[in-house]
Structure 1
Amino acid sequence: MDFSHLKALYINCTLKKSPDKSHTETLMKVSQNILEKENVAFETVRLIDADVASGVYPDMTEHGWDKDEWSKIYEKVMEADVLVVGTPIWLGEKSSEAQKLIERLYAMSGKTNDKGQYVYYGKVGGCIVTGNEDGVKHCAMGILYALQHIGYSVPPQADCGWIGEVGPGPSYGDSEWKDENIDPPVGFNSEFTNRNTTFMTYNLLHLAKLLKENNGYSNYGNSREAWDDGTKWSFENPEYR
């Protein structure tokens, strides 16, 4: 199986600026190690390090913001076949940075590709969630729904995560999980997390490969430009009586 023609972008939505340690990034590296072995190019962006404005417009400097570096990140999004959103859990929810990312992705979703489809058609999305409280599936549900709604394709088992004991305590990769009788440390030794991270990574690659090698989706029945020009395919307004 050759995935070397693919490119992935990981956007880490931690609330910690570099160079502070991000537990989310630690789990991301498990997925990225697979990509390295499969010769897949990838890049990581820590969203909070960039001066990205909040909002749902492509350029927020046109809406009262002095600075907005979103366009630089959007270029990376468009260059990538796969987008992986990483977030910690806070109060059972994805981080505020993750919500901002989704809103800025949504801001661009009205653009179209060369087939007249919405711009994210043909791209694949997944997510990685970490924390020490419940909420992995809840966060994944919201992120993956948002990605597919704006045009990303989501394969089976497109999320993975790790949570420790409920309440304050060590997070993924922390040395506090070290047990002298266990190597690697407990935080790295979760069969559930390791399996799901591996399955997610390969499922993202499989779907991205299928889409890229088939030039994405046919635009029959899903072209916004064609619809606006009057093409309705097999649709007709229902008769009301």
Structure 2
Amino acid sequence: MTESAAAAAAVPPRFDGLKAVFINATLKRSPEPSNTEGLVRLSGRIMQEHGVVVDVVRAVDHDIATGLWPDMTEHGEDVDDWPALFGKVLAADILVLAGPIWLGDNSSVMKRVIERLYGCSGSLNDAGQYAYYGRVAGCVITGNEDGVKHCAMNVLYSLQHLGFTVPPQADAGWIGPVGPGPSHLDPGSGGPENDFTNRNTTFMTYNLMHLAAMLRAAGGIPAYGNRRSEWDAGCAPDQVNPEHR
């Protein structure tokens, strides 16, 4: 590395203007302590120290209806808090889904959040792309049973499929002894001091900020070849849309 490159690398970057939203899919309602929130706080603190505006939402505190429409009150539900939460997602450059492991899988709350994200994924941005294009996403998983990587695979696959951009090392997790045992924030668990977990959470956080800043500077994902509006109009580049033959 050259001397100038080394000097530049030593300067902590700023990410002023970026916004991040963490959705905690714990089953515990506020103010009950959430072990997942331990990793949310670690990642969020790093972001805030570098100028990112951070919003944390505990999904279970909100009445999120079951369904795949953007607003389920238009489809028979009396209450649906999802439209307001979806507005927070669209206002953010970074989305981090955080949740616990139950029976080796993501929580029911996490699944509902992903379902509702999916239900809104067909809307388009100003460039005619799907709504989540130009935003980055990652996840953190906690538990005292096996399944961190399984849960992360499911979450990250879902997010990239919906249009989010996933950077390298976009997941982090903590897992205690398999079976009954201490959770992440329990006294003596070793969770907050775990070097592997703290390293992965830190790397994930910086990678999310770096990629979000790159996308913002570039004006998002280039729109050539991925506009739903062009495809529907029968003018997609380089291929024939079977619906308009």
TM-score in terms of structure 1 length: 0.93
Cα-to-partner distance string for 1:88-136 (whole Å, 9 max, x where unaligned) = 0000000000000000000100100000000000000000000001100
The code of the aligned residue for 1:50 comes to H
What is the distance in 2 between the residues matched to 1:237 and 1:27? Answer: 45
Runs of 4 or more, structure 1, over 4 Å off, are none
Aligned counterpart in structure 2 of residue 49 of structure 1, from 58, 61, 65: 61
How many Å apart are 1:237 and its aligned residue? Answer: 7.4
Report the counterpart of residue 99 of structure 1 in structure 2. 111
Q: Are residue 87 (structure 1) and residue 99 (structure 2) matched?
A: yes
Aligned to 1:212: 216
Q: Secondary structure at the match of 1:110?
A: coil
Residue matched to 1:151: 163
Instruction: Give the C-alpha shift of residue 232 in structure 1.
Output: 2.0
**29, 33, 55: which one aligns with 1:21:** 33
Counterpart-to-counterpart distance in 2, 1:218 and 1:82: 18
How far the C-alpha of 1:27 sits from its partner, in A, is: 1.3
Give the superposition deviation at 1:67: 0.7
Q: Does 1:124 align with 2:136?
A: yes
Segments of 5+ residues of structure 2 without an aligned counterpart are 1-12
1:195 maps to 2:207: no
Q: Aligned partners of 2:178, 2:237: CA distance in 1, in Å?
A: 52
- The residue that corresponds to 2:230 in the other structure is 226
Distance in 1, Cα, partners of 2:14 & 2:192: 28
Distance 1:45 1:10 in 2: 6
RMSD: 1.2
List gaps (5 residues or longer) in structure 1: 178-185
Partner residue of 2:150 out of 138, 146, 150: 138
SS at the partner of 1:204? helix
- Residue 4 of structure 2 corresponds to which residue in structure 1? none
> Paired residue for 1:9?
21
Equivalent residue letter for 2:43: S
For 1:181, the equivalent position in structure 2 comes to none
Aligned pairs for 1:35-74 within 5 A: 35-74=47-86
User: Which deviates more from structure 2 when the two are superposed, residues 160-169 or residues 60-69?
Assistant: 60-69
* Per-residue Cα deviation, 1:150-208 (whole angstroms, up to 9, x for no partner): 1000001100000000111111121143xxxxxxxx22111110110000000101110
- Aligned position for 1:108: 120
SS in 2 for 1:187: coil
Distance 2:191 2:72 in 1: 40
Query: Which SS does the other structure have where 2:97 is aligned?
Result: strand
Post-superposition shift, 1:63? 2.2
Cα deviation per residue 1:68-103 (whole Å; 9 max; x = unaligned)? 011110110000000000000000000000000000
Q: TM-score normalised to the size of structure 2?
A: 0.92
SS in 1 for 2:139: strand
* Distance in structure 2 (CA, Å) of the matches to 1:187 and 1:26: 9
Match of residue 186 from structure 2:
174
Query: What is the rounded CA distance, in whole Å, between the counterparts of 1:38 and 1:2 in structure 2?
Result: 5
